Amino acid sequence: MNRPAYSRRPQGNGAIPNIIFILLVINGLAFAAQSMEPGIMEYHLALHSVGSPYGKFMPWQLLTYGFLHATGTLTHIFFNMFALWMFGRDLERIMGSRRFLTYYLTCVVGAGLVQLLVAGFTGVPTVTVGASGGVFGILLAFAMAFPNRMIMLIFPPIPMRAKYFVFFYGLLELYLGVSGVNPGVAHFAHLGGMLFGYMLLRYWRNHRGARRH
- Higher pLDDT pick, 104 / 12: 104
**Residue 48 CB coordination number (10 Å):** 24
Backbone angles phi, psi at 113, to 5 degrees: -65, -40
pLDDT band at 180 (very low <50, low <70, confident <90, very high): confident
- Higher pLDDT pick, 52 / 199: 199
Burial of 28 (0-12, 13-18, 19+ CB in 10 A): middle
Q: What is the mean pLDDT of residues 161-176?
A: 94
Please determine, for residue 9, whether its predicted confidence score (pLDDT) is greater than 70.
no
> What digits encode the pLDDT tens for the residues 40-57?
999 999 999 988 888 999
**Residue 70 CB coordination number (10 Å):** 16
CATH classification (class only), 18-210: mainly alpha
Q: Rounded to the nearest 10 degrees, what angle do helices 187-210 and 132-145 cross at?
A: 50
pLDDT band at 8 (very low <50, low <70, confident <90, very high): very low
> What digits encode the pLDDT tens for the residues 54-87?
899 999 999 999 999 998 889 999 999 999 999 9
| Predicted local distance difference test score (pLDDT) of residue 184 | 85
Q: For residue 103, give the nearest of 19, 41, 12, 187 by alpha carbon.
A: 19
**Domains in the chain: boundaries:** 18-210
**Amino acid found at 27:** N
Helix boundaries (H) for the chain: 18-36, 38-45, 61-64, 75-95, 97-122, 132-145, 162-179, 187-210
Q: For residue 12, give the nearest of 95, 85, 86 by alpha carbon.
A: 95
> What digits encode the pLDDT tens for the residues 143-164?
999 999 998 877 678 899 999 9
Q: How far, in Å, CA of 98 to CA of 193, rounded?
A: 18
Q: How far, in Å, CA of 134 to CA of 161, rounded?
A: 21
